[in-house]
Structure 1
Amino acid sequence: MKHHPLRSPALALAVSLMLVPAAWADGTAASAPVAALDNALIATMKSGSAGQDFQARYKALAPVVEQSYDLPEVTKNSVGFLWSTLPASQQNELINLFTTFTVSSYVSQFDSYNGQSLTIMPKEKVLGQKKIIETKLTPKDGGGVVIDYVVSNEKNGWKINDVLLNGTISQVAIHASDFASLVKSGDASQLIAALKTKINTLQGS
C-alpha cells in the first residue's frame, strides 16, 4: 500500500488547523461514515491484491466515498473565497472533477492488501458543532498511522468534510493552498484543467 491518498507535496505549505480544547464524547452515529469508508478501503486493497483493475475498484468504491463525504462542501471550501464568483457551470464541473479525483486518489493509493487494518478509536472529540473521528491504519507488522476525520451532522446524516494530517493539518487548507493560483475571480478553467490532468495521471497509474 502506498501513502495515504490525501497527502500532498504541498504539505509544507499547509496551514495548521488550531484546535480548541475539546471534550470527549462517546457516540456511534458520527463515526458511521468513517466506518463505511474504512471497510470499503480494506475491500479496495483486497480487490487490488486479487488483480481487479482500476476501473472495477473505482466503480465499487465511488458510491461509498460519495456517501461518506460531503464532497460539494469540501470542493467549495477547497476552492476558497472565490467560489461564489464562479459560474454555476464551473462550480458543478469542479464538484464532479473533485469527486472523481478523490475516489481515484483512494483507489490509486490503497492498491494492495498485506494484512493492514483500519480501526476507529473508541472516543470522539467534539469541535464546536463538529466531531473528530480518529482512525488508526495499522500494518500487519505493527506501528501505524493515525488519520483524523472531521465530520458534521448534515440534513442527510453525518458526513466527512475534512481530514487532519498529523492530527492538526487540514487537508482542505492544503487544497486551498494548491488551488489558489489556479482560480481567478469568475474563472476556474486552470483548476479544471489541472484536476483533469491529475485524474488522468492517477487512473493511468
Structure 2
Amino acid sequence: MKRRIILAAPLAAVLPLAFPSARAAATDGSIAAPVTALDDALIATMKAGSAGKSFMARYDALKPVVEQSFDLPEILQVSAGLLWSQIPAAQQTELQTLFTQYTVASYISSFDAYGGQHFETLPGTRSVGAKRIVTTDLVAKGGHKTKLAYVMTSTGGSWKITDVLFEGTISKVATQRSDFDSLIAPGNATRLIEALKRKVAALSGGALKG
C-alpha cells in the first residue's frame, strides 16, 4: 500500500476529543459490516493489481462496495462545507459523480499491489454521540500495523462510513474540507470540479476522464 496522506494542521486540537467513550464489550456486526466488506474488497483490489488486472477492471469491482460502505453524498457535503447549499444543482450532481470516481480511484492507487497484507478488526466499538467508531489494523507481512478508524453513522436504517481517521486521529473529511475550501466560491464550484477531474485522470492513468 502506498502511503499518500495529507495532514491538516488544525486537526491536532480537535481530534483528541473524538473518542470520549469506553469501548463496548463486543462489536455489533451490523455496524462493522460495511468496514468488513471494504477491507475484503481492498485485499481483492491489491491482489488484482498484482495479477495485472487493468485499472477499469479493479474500478468496476471496487466501486459498488465503496458506494455501499460509504455515505458518499454526506461526506461530499461535509467536505464542501457551508457553501454546498449555494452550489447550483447541476454542479452538485457533477461533483457527486466526480467525488465517487475520485474516492474509488484513490483507493485503487493506494492499494495497488498485494504483499501478504491483511486486516484485523478490533473487537468492540466506541460511541461518539449517535455515531460509532470501528477500528481496524492493516497488518503488513512483516507485522507493521497501520490503524484505520471508521466513523459510522446510521443512515436510513443502515450503518455507513462517514469519515476515516488515519492512525486514529487524522480525519480524511477534515483534510478534504481544508483542500476543497479554497476551490469553492459562493454559487460556483467550477474550480473544484476541474481539480477533481485532473485528480481522477491522474489517479486512473487516463482511464477515467472525469
**Normalising by structure 2, what TM-score?**
0.92
Structure 1 match to 2:171: 170
Which residues in structure 2 correspond to 1:46-65 (within 5 Å)?
Answer: 46-65=47-66
Structure 2 match to 1:30: 31
Which residues in structure 2 correspond to 1:53-202 (within 5 Å)?
Answer: 53-202=54-203
Q: Secondary structure at the match of 2:144?
A: coil
The Cα shift of 1:14 comes to 4.8
How many equivalent residue pairs?
Answer: 201
Structure 1: where are the runs of 5+ without partners? none
Structure 1 CA distance, aligned partners of 2:145 and 2:19?
26
The Cα shift of 1:169 comes to 2.2
The Cα shift of 1:33 comes to 0.3
Moved more, 56-65 or 89-98: 89-98
The Cα shift of 1:20 comes to 5.0
Amino acid in structure 2 at the alignment position of 1:21: P
Q: Deviations over 1:12-52 (max 9, x none)?
A: 43524232511322211110000000000000001111110
Q: Deviations over 1:168-190 (max 9, x none)?
A: 22211111110111001100000
Structure 2: where are the runs of 5+ without partners? none
Identical pairs, percent: 51
Relative to structure 1, the CA distance from residue 96 to residue 43 in structure 2 (aligned partners, 3 Å threshold; closer, same or farther) is: same
Task: Decide whether the 8 Å contact of 2:19 with 2:126 is kept in 1.
Answer: no
Structure 1 CA distance, aligned partners of 2:10 and 2:62?
28
Q: Secondary structure at the match of 2:181?
A: helix
Q: Secondary structure at the match of 2:153?
A: strand
Q: Secondary structure at the match of 1:167?
A: coil
Q: Deviations over 1:65-113 (max 9, x none)?
A: 0000000000000000100111111111111111100000011111111
Task: Decide whether the 8 Å contact of 1:14 with 1:174 is kept in 2.
Answer: no
**Normalising by structure 1, what TM-score?**
0.94
Structure 1 CA distance, aligned partners of 2:19 and 2:44?
35
Q: Secondary structure at the match of 1:142?
A: coil
Task: Decide whether the 8 Å contact of 1:90 with 1:188 is kept in 2.
Answer: yes
Structure 1 CA distance, aligned partners of 2:175 and 2:10?
5
Amino acid in structure 2 at the alignment position of 1:85: Q
Structure 2 match to 1:21: 20
Task: Decide whether the 8 Å contact of 1:126 with 1:132 is kept in 2.
Answer: yes
